[in-house]
Amino acid sequence: MKMKIMEPVLLIVEDDDVIRKTLSEVFLKKGFKVLSADKGKDAIEFVKAHKVDITLLDLKLPDMNGLAVLKDMHEVDDSIMAIVVTAYPEVKTAISAIKAGAYDYINKPFELEELKLLVDKALETKRLKSEVEILRYQKGDGCVFLQTVGISPEFKAVTELVKTVAKTPKTSVLIQGETGTGKELIANAIHCLSDRKDRPFIKLNCSAIPDNLLEAEMFGYEKGAFTDAKQGKKGLFELADGGTIFLDEIGDMDIRLQPKLLQVLENQTFRRVGGIRDIKVDVRVVAATNKLLPAMVKQERFRDDLYYRLKVMVVHIPPLRERKNDIMPLVEYFIQFNNKNFGKGIKRASPECRDMLLKYSWPGNVRELKNIIERAAILAHSDEILPEHLPLELVEEIAAFVPAMNKTNPAAATLDEIEKAHIMNVINSVKGNISQASRILGIARQHLRKKLKRYSS
Ligand SMILES: Nc1ncnc2c1ncn2[C@@H]1O[C@H](COP(=O)(O)OP(=O)(O)OP(=O)(O)O)[C@@H](O)[C@H]1O
Ligand SMILES: [Mg+2]
């Protein structure tokens, strides 16, 4: 992953007009956004009001000692890389500057080329530092093994929409779908098919973080924002700069935080908690939910303005039971996946087994299918997955689908029908607990399972 700091910001703090202006021009040409100050106080104000990456800091300023300026700057933002400029070779001062947290120093008069190199090095160090921070949040598999499987027209429509959306650089996207339908996979696909693919993809689960911490996690905080905030910290929006942020379970985001998110979506700026500087980022937001947001809007648990903003681009992933054509391709895909991972040599699911997989309602969608195939692959001893390798809840559900006994005319029922109806009643009464059901019925568990399998085929 190669990352650039987008339009790096350089703050030149220097009271010599000629040097300040020359340096400004040089670094403007190099593609920096340049700010300059001739007093220490102004420099600190700049840092409070803007995001600064690197500062060239003259130690001898008219109003303050450069080291004090450095200290104050770092109180605001300790990620600023400071290159200290000393008037003459004064090793002691240079050393105390490094001790005070400067990145490096340079003596006056200096060669311009030497300074440019030093600034490049500082930028590279800063890039590496933020890369390390980002890696802590990044999904492990990045964009390498991405595969979305599905042949149904419903799923094809999803992948087509994803391709189109990925090409738009900034549009935020709302992904809707039941649990396990592949919302995270699709969010990752949008990122990986876009020009942002070499930049971070950062995932944040809004329901996993307590409301009072979510804002700081998303937007970072400045030093002193809380009693124990001894240093400022970047939030995920800053870390994701240039990339994509995936806000999972957006329906669970605290309603008080929602206006701040709306503001980022609208003008890409925000402030850290306890901060007064506007921070601008270039991030695409992909949000996901398995809740029905319109209902939450009605209950005033989700803001309507945020909902309308997100609704502009919705990707709806239908549940697996509404796209049965995808079941077998997914089964094949996960069989191959398990062969690779567990060194198994499974070739297929038996015809009887396939039938059952197609009949099942898949409440846990693709995730459930993936887990069931993984389990079956472990249990299977031959190259075929058989019904006995499938979990009971699946077998039972299918059995329950078989038309029940003819209740209107019990006298017309066969013994088999009566037996089946009785068995299903018992199973229902113990909420599907097969051990308990077999005890009540007075037959062995295995025997009961065989019967259930027969009902389901
Ligand atoms: N079409 C697909 N092709 C291949 N794998 C898929 C597909 N859809 C989902 N998966 C896999 O199924 C699992 C569940 O998907 P994912 O985590 O994206 O679902 P989700 O909708 O985010 O679920 P939840 O609502 O529970 O968070 C993952 O392992 C994912 O890779
Ligand atoms: Mg998910």
CA dist., res. 292 & res. 188, Å (int): 22
The verdict on 312 and 329 lying in the same domain is: no
CATH number at residue 356: 1.10.8.60
CB 441 within 8 A of CB 426: yes
CA distances from 39 to 47, 69, 72, 79 (A): 13, 9, 13, 21
pLDDT at residue 286 in the model: 97
Q: How far is the CA of 368 from the centre of ligand 2 (A)?
A: 13
Q: How far is the CA of 391 from the centre of ligand 2 (A)?
A: 23
Q: CA-based Rg of the chain, rounded to a whole angstrom?
A: 31
Closest ligand to C-alpha of residue 178 is 1
Phi/psi zone of residue 387: left (φ > 0), alpha (ψ -120 to 50 degrees), beta? Answer: alpha
The verdict on 267 and 294 lying in the same domain is: yes
Q: How far is the CA of 159 from the centre of ligand 1 (A)?
A: 14
Closest ligand to C-alpha of residue 182 is 1
CATH number at residue 237: 3.40.50.300
User: Encoding tokens for residue 61?
Assistant: 């300023």
The verdict on 161 and 310 lying in the same domain is: yes
Closest ligand to C-alpha of residue 204 is 2
CB 276 within 8 A of CB 255: no
Query: Residue 306: inside a domain, yes or no?
Result: yes
Of 316, 321, 424, the closest CA to residue 368 belongs to: 321
CA distances from 154 to 165, 317, 328 (A): 17, 8, 15
Element (H, E) at 104: strand 104-107
Of 101, 59, 108, the closest CA to residue 82 belongs to: 101
The verdict on 361 and 424 lying in the same domain is: no
Atom of ligand 1 nearest to the CA of 177: 21
Of 328, 329, 322, the closest CA to residue 353 belongs to: 328
Atom of ligand 1 nearest to the CA of 179: 25
Q: How far is the CA of 181 from the centre of ligand 1 (A)?
A: 5
CA dist., res. 162 & res. 16, Å (int): 54
The verdict on 288 and 348 lying in the same domain is: no
Q: How far is the CA of 363 from the centre of ligand 2 (A)?
A: 15
User: Encoding tokens for residue 372?
Assistant: 């069931």
CA distances from 158 to 150, 151, 155, 363, 377 (A): 10, 11, 5, 20, 29
Pocket test for ligand 1, best of 366, 369, 373 (most atoms within 8 A of CB): 366
For 118-152, letters b (16+ CB in 10 Å) and e give bbeebbeebbeebeebbeebbeeebeeeeeebbeb
Nearest CA owner, ligand 1 atom 31: 185
The verdict on 290 and 416 lying in the same domain is: no
CA dist., res. 197 & res. 191, Å (int): 6
Burial of 448 (0-12, 13-18, 19+ CB in 10 A): buried
Ligand 1 pocket at CB < 6 A: 147-150, 177, 179-185, 290, 366-367, 370
Query: Residue 396: inside a domain, yes or no?
Result: no
Closest ligand to C-alpha of residue 189 is 1
**Model pTM score:** 0.71
CA dist., res. 328 & res. 348, Å (int): 10
The verdict on 92 and 172 lying in the same domain is: no
CB 250 within 8 A of CB 287: yes
Beta strands 173-176 and 269-270 are unpaired
User: Encoding tokens for residue 316?
Assistant: 């709806």
Pocket test for ligand 1, best of 367, 369, 371 (most atoms within 8 A of CB): 367
Per-residue pLDDT of the chain (457 residues; tens, 9 = 90+): 344 556 899 999 999 999 999 999 999 999 999 999 999 999 999 999 888 999 999 988 999 999 999 999 998 888 899 999 987 666 777 788 888 889 998 988 889 999 999 999 999 888 887 776 666 555 544 576 568 999 999 999 999 999 999 999 999 999 999 999 999 999 999 999 999 988 889 999 998 888 888 999 999 998 888 777 777 888 999 999 999 999 999 999 999 999 999 999 999 999 999 998 999 999 999 999 999 999 999 999 999 999 999 999 999 999 999 999 999 999 999 999 999 887 889 999 999 999 999 999 999 999 999 999 999 998 898 999 999 999 988 988 887 765 554 455 656 667 787 788 788 878 877 767 888 889 988 898 888 888 888 877 6
Q: How far is the CA of 356 from the centre of ligand 1 (A)?
A: 21
Largest Cα–Cα distance of the chain, in whole Å? 110
State the first-to-last Cα distance of the chain, in angstroms, to the nearest integer.
Answer: 51
CA distances from 102 to 7, 68, 96 (A): 22, 12, 9
Helix axes 327-342, 351-359, angle to 10 degrees: 120
User: Encoding tokens for residue 363?
Assistant: 């409440």
Nearest CA owner, ligand 1 atom 16: 182
Pocket test for ligand 1, best of 146, 184, 362 (most atoms within 8 A of CB): 184
The verdict on 202 and 307 lying in the same domain is: yes
CATH number at residue 24: 3.40.50.2300
Query: Residue 436: inside a domain, yes or no?
Result: yes
Residue that is written with structure tokens 């605001």 in the block: 76
User: Encoding tokens for residue 212?
Assistant: 């009072």
CB 73 within 8 A of CB 82: yes
Beta strands 244-248 and 348-349 are unpaired
CB 51 within 8 A of CB 5: no
Q: How far is the CA of 335 from the centre of ligand 2 (A)?
A: 22
Q: How far is the CA of 106 from the centre of ligand 1 (A)?
A: 53
The verdict on 238 and 347 lying in the same domain is: no
CA distances from 160 to 15, 35, 191, 226 (A): 58, 45, 14, 46
Query: Residue 148: inside a domain, yes or no?
Result: no
Nearest CA owner, ligand 1 atom 25: 179
Query: Residue 29: inside a domain, yes or no?
Result: yes
Atom of ligand 1 nearest to the CA of 290: 25
Closest ligand to C-alpha of residue 150 is 1
Enclosing domain of residue 128: 9-135
The verdict on 272 and 367 lying in the same domain is: no
CB 61 within 8 A of CB 51: no
The verdict on 77 and 175 lying in the same domain is: no
Query: Residue 127: inside a domain, yes or no?
Result: yes
Report whether the peptide linkage leading into residue 109 is cis, meaning its omega lies within 30 degrees of zero.
yes
Query: Residue 416: inside a domain, yes or no?
Result: yes
The verdict on 272 and 160 lying in the same domain is: yes
Atom of ligand 1 nearest to the CA of 288: 22
Q: How far is the CA of 373 from the centre of ligand 1 (A)?
A: 14
